């Protein structure tokens, strides 16, 4: 039975710690565990067999650190992985296989930090993971497990390498401290939004903490994940006794923690540091007595960076100023690749209240495909606010999505067949949200009803690609009233109509006043009308005081700003 099929109706039991078991078999301090396993296959078989006999459905190959940067130069990545898979298969042959058994390719962190925190590039990391994945597939593993990731960016690279080079199921877990952050500051909510969006088959947490300390993190993951949740806790916390790490939780206490994981929704269980076959046996013998539960789900659209997430609801502010259209200073900065100017524009908008920053580098003289990922990386090195990737260039969009760290918004697709066919597959691949413009081959319709029909077409096509309605933002388009005055109210009507589709709405507000005096007053009035009609995301200049006044006032009137706390803090002298 294929592992995904088994998971539909069963709790999947993984094995436990490998490192300490290898030490008991003679692995010396500083010795490479993967090379030790290659040179001592019988000892590795004994460990795998012990876990299988204890009740494990899945055994991880002894390849956690098997990459070209860590491995002893005497052996290739391919040799070590092939041997590790062969050994795991032999162990499975040694036991009673009345229950399904699977071999998982174990992929751990590379061991070097990715840019901008370190010097390892995205592309180099991708090639390292790709090499592991390709050999795992060739050697015949059943599932790929990417585990103990401390950096969301590295986890994303590993998942992309697995997705793009195999058809195997992919499980991905990160490690968090007791404060709920990874070593690089990633939050569980951001991990779920980003990694689940990439299309993994299971997501979760392993290592770092014992069952008691991990439970709040598991609850956060389980409340937002729509794929199976995986947990591999440590055997409590370590105490150093005579130079040896002794963990403070035994097998029975560990199982009590496992019960709580299952009760909040975890369906893939194993052990990490300090665990051994006795822990897995305790789980295997007693897990059927546990009632599988499900924590209350938080079903909200989330965009994020690694360390900050935004639940998109009305009104959410998207800063518009990182767009060179009509901004000569930004145009010059982008031509000269002066990213500091763009970063400062972003920071100014965040300080003024932007929750998301739109990023557009569209100029005829610029190589968008090259500049978009560069600017995104530079901004993300300084600003933790989520970004919206804005381009009419499909290649630039894909590059932006690929190198973005987190979950972003694609701006945009429209009702043209060419746009639908080229943009929506990219949106789905990278797990992004998407803006849909209500225009098609005939242009922008004058009437709300016609824009609504285009919106329906976009929504239906997006859903057919597996994009959820909550992640679709329809832009009913604002046109300048100095030229098309009668169409302003059509935009407002269209917003109300589109809300019936169960999607969100977004609008570039300032277009309405182009060519007129006192633009700020007109923009603020139109924004208020749009918010009342159901606008969720307002693309505005947050540095315009009147626009943020309208936003902050509306948050009181629609009961978002509970107790008027934000409003009072903002405007009290």
- Binding-site positions read 207, 272-273
DSSP letters along 260-300, please?
A: HHHHTTEEEEEE-TT--HHHHHHHHHHGGGSPP--PPP---
Dist CA 39 CA 36 (whole Å): 5
CB contact at 8 A, 86 and 44: no
557/568 Cα distance (integer angstroms): 14
Query: For 515-551, b where at least 16 C-beta lie within 10 A, e where not — what string?
Result: eeeeeeebbbebbbbbbebbbbbbbbbbbbeebbbbb
Burial of 96 (0-12, 13-18, 19+ CB in 10 A): exposed
Give residue for tokens 């100017």.
Answer: 341
Q: What is the distance between the alpha carbons of residues 527 and 290, in angstroms, rounded to a whole number?
A: 53
Rounded Cα distance between 452 and 455, Å, is 5
Q: Are 263 and 290 in contact (CB under 8 A)?
A: yes
Element holding 434 (H helix, E strand): strand 433-437
**Which value, in Å, is the radius of gyration of the alpha carbons in the chain?**
26
Q: Which residues are annotated as a binding site for Zn(2+)?
A: 207, 272-273
Q: How far apart are CA 509 and CA 523, in angstroms?
A: 6
């Amino acid at each position: 039975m294929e592992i995904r099929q088994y998971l539909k109706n069963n709790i999947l039991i993984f094995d436990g710690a490998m490192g300490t078991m290898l030490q008991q078999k003679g692995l010396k301090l500083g010795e490479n565990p993967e090379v030790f396993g290659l040179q001592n296959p019988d000892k590795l078989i004994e460990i795998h067999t012990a876990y299988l006999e204890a009740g494990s459905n899945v055994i991880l190959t002894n390849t956690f650190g098997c990459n070209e940067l860590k491995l002893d130069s005497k052996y290739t990545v391919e040799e070590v992985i092939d041997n590790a898979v062969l050994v795991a298969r032999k162990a499975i042959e040694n036991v009673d296989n009345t229950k399904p058994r699977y071999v998982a390719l174990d992929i751990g962190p590379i061991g070097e930090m990715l840019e901008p925190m370190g010097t390892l590039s995205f592309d180099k990391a991708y090639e390292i993971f790709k090499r592991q994945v390709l050999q795992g597939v060739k050697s015949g593993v059943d599932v790929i497990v990417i585990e103990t990731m401390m950096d969301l960016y590295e986890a994303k690279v590993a998942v992309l390498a697995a997705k793009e080079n195999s058809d195997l199921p992919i499980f991905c877990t990160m490690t968090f401290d007791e404060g709920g952050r990874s070593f690089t500051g990633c939050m569980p909510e951001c991990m779920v939004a980003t990694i689940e969006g990439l299309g993994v088959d299971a997501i979760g947490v392993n290592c770092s903490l014992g069952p008691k300390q991990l439970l709040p993190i598991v609850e956060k993951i389980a409340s937002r994940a729509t794929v199976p949740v995986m947990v591999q806790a440590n055997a409590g916390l370590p105490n150093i006794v005579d130079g040896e790490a002794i963990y403070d939780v035994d097998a029975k206490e560990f199982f009590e923690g496992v019960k709580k994981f299952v009760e909040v929704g975890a369906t893939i269980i194993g052990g990490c540091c300090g665990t051994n076959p006795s822990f897995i046996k305790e789980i295997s013998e007693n897990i059927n007595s546990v009632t599988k539960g499900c924590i209350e789900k938080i079903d909200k659209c989330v965009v994020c960076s690694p360390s900050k997430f935004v639940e998109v609801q009305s009104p959410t502010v998207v800063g518009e100023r990182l767009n060179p259209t009509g901004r000569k200073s930004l145009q010059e900065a982008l031509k000269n690749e002066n990213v500091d100017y763009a970063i400062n524009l972003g920071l100014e908008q965040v300080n003024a209240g932007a929750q998301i920053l739109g990023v557009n580098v569209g100029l005829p003289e610029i190589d968008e495909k090259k500049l978009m990922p560069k600017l995104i990386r530079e901004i993300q090195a300084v600003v933790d606010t989520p970004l919206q990737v804005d381009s009419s260039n499909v290649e630039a969009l894909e590059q932006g999505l690929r190198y973005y760290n987190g979950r972003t918004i694609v701006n945009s697709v429209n009702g043209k067949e060419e746009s639908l066919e080229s943009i929506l597959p990219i949106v789905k691949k990278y797990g992004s949200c998407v803006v849909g413009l209500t225009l098609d081959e005939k242009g922008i319709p004058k009437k709300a009803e016609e824009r609504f029909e285009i919106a329906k077409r976009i929504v239906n096509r997006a859903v057919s690609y597996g994009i959820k309605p909550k992640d679709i933002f329809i832009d009913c388009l604002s046109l300048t009233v100095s030229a098309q005055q009668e169409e302003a109210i059509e935009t407002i009507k269209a917003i109300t109509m589109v809300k019936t589709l169960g999607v969100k709405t977004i609008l570039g507000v300032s277009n309405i006043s182009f060519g007129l005096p006192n633009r700020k007053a007109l923009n603020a009035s139109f924004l208020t009308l749009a918010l009342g009609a159901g606008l969720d995301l307002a693309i505005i200049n947050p540095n315009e005081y009147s626009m943020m006044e309208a936003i902050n006032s509306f948050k009181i009137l629609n009961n978002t700003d509970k107790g008027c706390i934000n409003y009072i803090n903002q405007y009290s002298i």
